[in-house]
């Protein structure tokens, strides 16, 4: 049900709003804002058909344009004059970013600075900008040694990984919380997301524009890409299990991740756009618990009646060992709480995949 027009805020502009997260927030944004405008270039790695996605709610205006081009902002901003901007557009392939660092840096960093310069040129200062950052900014994050002292182990090397030394000996990992753990990215993607944060915060403070930064953990669920080979481990596992394959587990299968269902991410992003106040440090968004990749794979295999997953001992350069969020601050500031656990989330993802046309087992 729509709020009465009087209670809705004016205009929200969403960059990259035709993607996975953008589509999932689109209906909800129409309830909170009178006008919802998306700027998205319908990138072929995400949008196979190059047409408006069905999942983007009717009533949302879609402008097909590239965020890295100054002309985009000179065309869009004078007419739209958004009160709130939600900046989602990005290149998101962590592994891919090592091989295509210019592409990732151009879209994520220059795309952000073009938006900000465009705002200045067109005198279109919004009240708030929301950025979806990533847990990738933390890299391996902080661990505690045997005495309980926090330290930063840094990036794992081929030398130790080749010996199957997956963890940092004698140490235990800690949850990611922006107020306590320093960022230390180990991928180009992570470095570009941190650059986005820093640029936005410096600029926002200078112009009195509120900034809300959400560091998202691994988002999955209905609507996620079934064609992008660089993202989406959960949909890949589903398609493997669907084909009757045993899911291969890297390292020892004990890699920790924080899989958060898209529905819970959507409520967090909308809360960040509409909340009364913002928070000076980034907020960590996760499911409230960690899972191992092995547990996620096992749950998916059971759902499809596939053979048991198997450990391969392989590793991927740039993968971090463990990652999960401490969501205390997000709960307090946003009045938000995740509602789905892993089992429920996988059911929702698998039910959705089952009815997708042309879905191919992997």
Binding site for ligand NAD (CB under 6 A): 16, 18-22, 40-43, 46-47, 66-68, 88-90, 92, 107, 111, 132, 134, 193, 216, 218-219
Q: Could you say which of 189, 220, 315, 340 is catalytic?
A: 189
248 DSSP β-pair partners = 310
Choose between 126 and 168: whose C-beta lies nearer to ligand NAD: 126
Rounded CA-CA distance 46/281 in Å is 31
33 DSSP assignment? E
Q: Nearest residue by C-beta to ligand NAD? A: 19
Rounded CA-CA distance 259/323 in Å is 10
Reported as type and span, the H/E element at residue 120 is helix 111-121
Q: Give me the least distance between CB of 167 and ligand NAD, in Å please.
A: 24
CB proximity list for 277: less than 8 A, separation 6 or greater:
333
285 DSSP β-pair partners = 216
Q: Give me the least distance between CB of 114 and ligand NAD, in Å please.
A: 9
Place of tokens 């691994």: 218
Kindly state the tokens that stand for 16.
């990259």
340 is catalytic: no
Q: Give me the least distance between CB of 298 and ligand NAD, in Å please.
A: 21
Q: 97-100: which pairs have CB atoms within 8 A and are 24 or more residues apart?
A: 97/187, 97/188, 97/189, 97/192, 98/187, 98/188, 98/317, 98/318
Choose between 161 and 265: whose C-beta lies nearer to ligand NAD: 265
Choose between 114 and 298: whose C-beta lies nearer to ligand NAD: 114
Q: Give me the least distance between CB of 267 and ligand NAD, in Å please.
A: 15
Choose between 66 and 117: whose C-beta lies nearer to ligand NAD: 66
Choose between 63 and 171: whose C-beta lies nearer to ligand NAD: 63
Q: Give me the least distance between CB of 210 and ligand NAD, in Å please.
A: 19
Known catalytic residues are: 189
């Amino acid at each position: 049900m729509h709020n009465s027009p009087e209670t809705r805020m004016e205009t929200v502009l969403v960059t990259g709003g035709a993607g996975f997260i953008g589509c999932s927030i689109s209906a909800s944004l129409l309830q909170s804002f009178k006008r919802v405008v998306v700027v998205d270039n319908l990138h072929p790695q995400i949008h196979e058909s190059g047409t408006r996605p069905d999942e983007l709610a009717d009533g949302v205006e879609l402008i097909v344009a590239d965020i890295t081009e100054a002309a985009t902002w000179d065309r869009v901003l004078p007419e739209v004059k958004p009160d709130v901007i939600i900046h989602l557009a990005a290149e998101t392939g962590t592994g891919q970013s090592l091989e295509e660092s210019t592409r990732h840096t151009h879209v994520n960093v220059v795309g952000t600075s073009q938006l900000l310069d465009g705002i200045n040129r067109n005198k279109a200062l919004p009240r708030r900008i929301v950025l979806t950052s990533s847990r990738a900014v933390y890299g391996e994050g902080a661990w505690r040694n045997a005495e309980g002292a926090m330290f930063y182990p840094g990036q794992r090397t081929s030398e130790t990984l080749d010996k199957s030394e997956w963890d940092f000996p004698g140490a235990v990992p800690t949850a990611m919380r922006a107020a306590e753990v320093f960022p230390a990215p180990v991928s180009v993607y992570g470095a570009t997301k941190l650059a986005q944060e820093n640029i936005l915060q410096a600029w926002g403070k200078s112009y009195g524009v509120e900034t809300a930064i959400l560091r998202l953990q691994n988002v999955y669920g209905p609507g996620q890409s079934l064609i992008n080979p660089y993202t989406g481990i959960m949909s890949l596992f589903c398609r493997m299990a669907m084909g009757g394959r045993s899911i291969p587990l890297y390292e020892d299968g004990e890699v920790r991740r924080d899989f958060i269902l898209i529905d819970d991410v959507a409520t967090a992003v909308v809360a960040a756009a509409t909340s009364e106040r913002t928070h000076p440090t980034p907020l960590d968004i996760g499911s409230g618990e960690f899972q191992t990749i092995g547990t996620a794979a096992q749950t998916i295999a059971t759902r499809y009646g596939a053979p048991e997953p198997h450990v391969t001992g392989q590793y991927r350069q740039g993968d971090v060992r463990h990652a999960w969020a401490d969501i205390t601050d997000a709960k307090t500031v946003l009045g938000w709480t995740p509602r789905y656990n892993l089992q429920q989330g996988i059911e929702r993802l698998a039910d959705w995949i089952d009815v997708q046309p042309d879905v191919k087992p992997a």
